[in-house]
A and B are shown apart, each in its own frame.
Chain A
Amino acid sequence: MTYPVPTPQDITGPALAGTTETMVLNMGPHHPSTHGVLRLVLELDGEVVVNVAPDVGFLHTGIEKTMESKTYQQAVVLTDRMDYLAPLSNNLSYALTVEKLLGVEIPERAQTIRVLMVELQRISSHLVWLGTHALDLAAMSVFLYAFREREQILDLFELVSGARLMTSYIRVGGLAYDLPADFLPTVDAFLKIMPGHVDEYEDLLTGNPLWLERTVGVGVIDAEAAIAYGLTGANLRATGVPYDVRKAIPYTGYETYDFAVPVGKKGDIYDRYRVRMAEMRQSISLCRQAWERLNEMPSGVYQTSDRKVAPPPKSEITHSMEALIHHFKLWTEGFKPPRGDAYVSIESPRGILGCYVVSDGSAKPWRVHFRSPSFISLQSLAHMGNGRLMADLVALIASLDPVLGEVDR
């Protein structure tokens, strides 16, 4: 079995030569339901999609290249801008990779905060997926309900980092700041209301006949093809493959948490929907576990004690020569990991987000590369979409949950 990935030229070529009876339609880059600036070249027979070729690159920002001219700590800010719906996951993948290069130990409290933040991020990202997915099928209220709760999560991010979207909260060596005093009670309030809200979304969609007609049996991919195309995350799990990096290669102490990986069966849009909804509930439980641990831990520690990586506290600088030198070196030059390379993958809301960093021993990375799940999942569009109606393609794109900032980097 071959798994083709058509290029735009495969479709436009025959059409320009005038050898086809079909219509070529340029869907995007400006189109309401391409989730950003994805361009799809469609070959249509009436409304039936004969072939579809994704054309990416309209949001190319050169993030990976720019990182080469920043110090390791400065480059964290750029990772926010890749997958703009899950900046904290991006921060985490990059921070973990550089920490692996440096070989630093992160204190347990910082790790717990990381888990809490990343799981909140997963909920918020899934809320955007749910909202836009429903909106693409014209169920408009769900979108606003989902954004109502996302707003609360963004407020939480604002509490800890001062920014709602581009948080840059997870830094190499720990976190940017300690948690503010009112953070944990606010998280508690949010975690109390959130399960009820997930029920509310499910009430609107799960059993809705129109929703079922649009999603069940549409955009089917089997496990074999999903693996061949490199699908990860909920898209892969919906086909019945139990794979989650949090379980397979645990990081930031995920092995100590009690959670389950929801796995689907049919690999259609509806299973992806069910899997992501179940994931949201699992994330809520993970957040609760992290919250309980944080409640018992003394506050204060939020980054590594390695002074070559994390700056000393202000109180130390005023009376310690050593601390002052560390501070000066970190702010003028940054830290220098040893020569070598490191790769760490994490489970971002969209799937396996891998980060590969090569160090030449200087204070700036020699090369940074991200394995972005959205970029890889888009290539399976033709496999799932061909032969279906154009309306199904819209549902399909939404169900894959691509973020174009991450696709083009």
Chain B
Amino acid sequence: MNWPDLLIIVVQCLVIAIAVTTAFAYLTLFERRLLARFQHRIGPNRAGPNGFLQPVADAVKLFFKEDVIPSAADKAVYLLAPAVAVIPAIIIWAVIPFGCLNTNWDYRACFADPHAAGLHNILQIAEIDVGVLYLLAVTSIGVYGITLAGWASNNKYSMLGGIRSSAQLISYELALGCSVLAVVMTYSSLSTATIVHEQGGLWGIVPQFLAFIIFMVASTAEVVRAPFDLVEAEQELVGGYNTEYGSMKFALFFMTEYIKLIAVSAMAVTFFFGGWRFPGLEALGAGIEPLAGPMAASIAVGLASLGSFLLKLVAFLYLSVWIRASWPRLRYDRLMDMGWKWLLPLGLANIVYTAVVLVLVPNRYIAGLILLVLGLISLAVANSFNKVPKPVDNVTYVKDLRSQAMIPAATRATDD
């Protein structure tokens, strides 16, 4: 590797790290403003125009807060935990292709097989052959930060949060792995760039609809986001694992959570929504090239692909905020039930269908449709087994108290 290439990589890393942390800051603003909209409020709008400087104000406040370490805490681990949490969240981004722009200014290379072309896409830091494995590995390291924080704080709420997190993250990792494995099988590649390339004709959501559903549920649980935010359930565990954390140490946990949320949304986009691909991108390049030359065409395609990626990402984040605004939280035992009894079997079944269909049906469009139908059928079957209680209206209206016995017969109520 020569010097200019190394320099490009360093610059890429810096840009991504800064972009991701900025994205986190503005995601908090996005979430707060949007939640406010859902809830008939205005939301933060005082700092800067439309509250645009609110994240800055928050950061400044957190920087200046007193840094308290509980005297009973395990100091070294307590201090290490936020760093252990935040680093995996940021390095997830290394293998995600945000768009397509190469230094040879050849937009056509974007739509060719990324390995055959051999061109370096500067909108993806590292194109490694096992990108998917890297993603799975790094997301699962994230649990250590939370668990260590919960344990090192020496607080019972934190410890309960830490225990919940290890149980929850391990349970949902399996389902997450299963759903991603089905995608890997469909596109017969572990490289994120190839998976995006292969989704040229048909986005991954069609053949892998079931995997998408499993991925959405499992990844939401994996980043402990509502309605699976049991790890820090403030109504139950005060703050969960971060109860004893303040100032920037808390901010690092906060940052971890939101960066991971953006990261799994980016993974969902990459695996199921064609990554940076968007209909008409190639036509855009072809239209600009004769007018302004290959460089302009390549840059236009690069920016448009980046824009398409971000658009899809924001759609996912919107969905996440929407869910948070409207749904109650799951209970711990139901969460475990769901992970082990529903998502994991569905994920395994999906792998089996995918394998059989891909072997038997050579045409990928037909195979995709068959898989979609199978996915919908298995979701319907799974749903028919669900144990959610029915909303039974037990209310009777009594106008004359004497018309009814004071203590009803057979009142001994049964537990669920």
Q: How many A-B residue pairs have CB under 8 A?
A: 159
B391 interfacial by beta-carbon distance below 8 Å:
yes
- Give chain A's interface secondary structure class: mixed
Interface size class of A (residues with CB under 8 A): 35 or more
B23-36 interface code vs A (CB 8 A; 1 in, 0 out):
00000000000010
Which of B2-10, B196-204, B329-337, B371-379 is near enough to bind chain A? B329-337
Report the nearest B residue to A33, measured CB to CB: B235
- Cα–Cα distance between A74 and B332 once the two chains are bound (Å): 51
Q: Given known contacts A137-B329, A217-B416, is B394 in contact with A261 (CB within 8 Å)?
A: no
Total chain B interface residues with beta-carbon distance under 8 A: 54
Task: Check if A145 sits within 8 Å of B395, measured CB to CB.
Answer: no
The contact sample of 10 A-B pairs, CB cut-off 8 A, is A32-B238, A138-B227, A216-B392, A216-B416, A240-B408, A242-B404, A243-B406, A259-B399, A263-B404, A266-B413
What's the nearest-Cβ distance from chain B to residue A6, in Å?
A: 19
Report the nearest B residue to A266, measured CB to CB: B413
B116 interfacial by beta-carbon distance below 8 Å:
no
- Give chain B's interface secondary structure class: loop
- Cα–Cα distance between A94 and B415 once the two chains are bound (Å): 40
Task: Check if B413 sits within 8 Å of A391, measured CB to CB.
Answer: no
B388 interfacial by beta-carbon distance below 8 Å:
yes
Cβ–Cβ < 8 Å partners of A268 in chain B:
413
What's the nearest-Cβ distance from chain A to residue B336, in Å?
A: 11
Cβ–Cβ < 8 Å partners of A220 in chain B:
413-415
Contacting residues of chain A (189-234) with chain B, CB-CB under 8 angstroms: 204, 206-214, 216-218, 220-224, 227
Report the nearest B residue to A26, measured CB to CB: B156
A48-64 interface code vs B (CB 8 A; 1 in, 0 out):
00000000000000000
Q: Given known contacts A138-B235, A216-B416, A261-B397, is B328 in contact with A208 (CB within 8 Å)?
A: yes
B301 interfacial by beta-carbon distance below 8 Å:
no
Q: Given known contacts A23-B156, A32-B235, A220-B415, is B334 in contact with A265 (CB within 8 Å)?
A: no
Task: Check if A247 sits within 8 Å of B388, measured CB to CB.
Answer: no
- Cα–Cα distance between A53 and B13 once the two chains are bound (Å): 54
B229 interfacial by beta-carbon distance below 8 Å:
yes
Task: Check if B411 sits within 8 Å of A240, measured CB to CB.
Answer: yes
Interface, chain A (partner B; CB < 8 A):
23, 25, 31-33, 47, 134-141, 144-145, 148, 204, 206-214, 216-218, 220-224, 227, 239-244, 247-248, 259-268, 270-271, 274-275, 278, 389-392, 394
Report the nearest A residue to B387, measured CB to CB: A213
Task: Check if A266 sits within 8 Å of B331, measured CB to CB.
Answer: no
B113 interfacial by beta-carbon distance below 8 Å:
no
Task: Check if B332 sits within 8 Å of A389, measured CB to CB.
Answer: yes
Contact partner, B401, options A32, A213, A222, A242, Cβ 8 Å: A242
Contact partner, A139, options B328, B334, B400, Cβ 8 Å: B328
Cβ–Cβ < 8 Å partners of A227 in chain B:
407
Cβ–Cβ < 8 Å partners of A260 in chain B:
397-399
What's the nearest-Cβ distance from chain A to residue B82, in Å?
A: 23
- Cα–Cα distance between A210 and B332 once the two chains are bound (Å): 12
- Cα–Cα distance between A33 and B235 once the two chains are bound (Å): 5
Contact partner, B411, options A139, A239, A248, Cβ 8 Å: A239
Cβ–Cβ < 8 Å partners of A265 in chain B:
394, 396, 408
Q: Given known contacts A209-B388, A278-B395, A278-B397, is B407 in contact with A391 (CB within 8 Å)?
A: no
Contact partner, A134, options B328, B390, B394, B406, Cβ 8 Å: B328
